[in-house]
Amino acid sequence: MAGELLLEVENLAVSFRSRGAVADAVSDVSFRLHQGETLAMVGESGSGKSVTSLALMRLLPDAPQCQVRGSVKLRDKTGSGMLDVLALPEPQMQAVRGNNIAMVFQEPMTSLNPVKTIGAQITETIRLHRPMLARAAEDEAVRLLDLVGIPAPRQRLTAYPHQLSGGMRQRAMIAMALSCEPSVLIADEPTTALDVTIQAQILDLLKRLQEQTGMAVIFITHNLGVVAEIADRVMVMYSGRVVEQADVVPLFQQPLMPYTRGLLRSVPRLDLAGRRAGALYAIPGNVPDPRRPPPGCAFHPRCDSFADGRCNVEAPRLDSTADGRQVRCLRWPEFVA
């Protein structure tokens, strides 16, 4: 049973202006997120995943360089209803950011301040949002570092980011993001730069913390193995648009969008390793330039098996299926068994 609705995004669109040209990085993105739920955003680089997350956090440049449209409603932790994130004044948004919704960035070495200790950065976040004396904030930082599995947490408070390993820096970032107990956590490819053993530890950590706190998680990744491990629902993005959205098991069993099929075919399979038929599939071509999108379906130049004459001229709408899925493809009814 779905928990309380925490985040509601409707028709989110983001465009950038540069040298007189306008690039639509995100178009018509809508989804809901409930308490305790994990939504995975999947797609190649340039699909609009990170821009979507930054728009939710209000961390994109101001107009006129960047225009954000649509609606983002976030439930207030105080119980006063839903907050209109895109309409909040910046001082009020600063109180929401980190407290109601927090983010773990992809590369902690570029997200942590290199000239401040780990302890100073975590306690600064705690004291910004919670009325707490310095000593109490330090004790809370120790508790958080211990919670995320960093050994000798009190000693680590005096360490600088460059003195920690990649896995420990990522854990420190997670501790900072969790310091104010946000109801929604955005994790932007938090395991990309880590080896597989540390990746598994970070994923287990996020799952355990989610069970303890009930927070909802938006997990941005290109690793479908990770998606199968942690997600409840999957939102596949391509060229700034949602092209398929479904629960994780139905999507893996029967993808309805050719792009989703291509992503799944691109996952290495150990049972086919070394066989001629087991050559790793790659989707041909590249994600289109958002300043010059192709006519019709954005994926049709790369859709080597399914595209027909309509796909070159007719832009597909996001259809809803009988079982509650969403898919953006003119031919999807032909793929239903």
Highest mean pLDDT: which of 6-15, 94-103, 161-170? 6-15
C-alpha to C-alpha distance for 177 and 126, rounded to whole angstroms:
10
Where are the chain's structural domains? 5-231, 261-269+279-335
Residues 72, 56 contacting (CB under 8 angstroms): yes
Q: What is the pLDDT averaged over residues 127-150? A: 89
What average pLDDT does range 135-147 have in this prediction? 91
Task: Specify the higher pLDDT residue, 71 or 194.
Answer: 71
DSSP for 292-331, please give it.
SPPSSSTTGGG-TTT--GGGGT-PPP-EE-TTS-EE--TT
- Confidence tier at 271 by pLDDT (50, 70, 90): low
Give the residue, 266 or 26, on which the prediction is more confident: 26
**CB 12, CB 52: distance < 8 Å:** yes
Q: Which two tokens mark 135?
A: 């000593």
Percent of the chain whose predicted confidence (pLDDT) is above 90: 54
Token pair listed for 308: 């027909």
If pLDDT is split at 50, 70 and 90, which confidence band does 1 have? very low
5-231 is a CATH 3.40.50.300 domain: yes
pLDDT tens string 272-305: 666 666 677 888 889 998 888 899 999 999 997 7
- On average, the pLDDT of the chain sits at 88
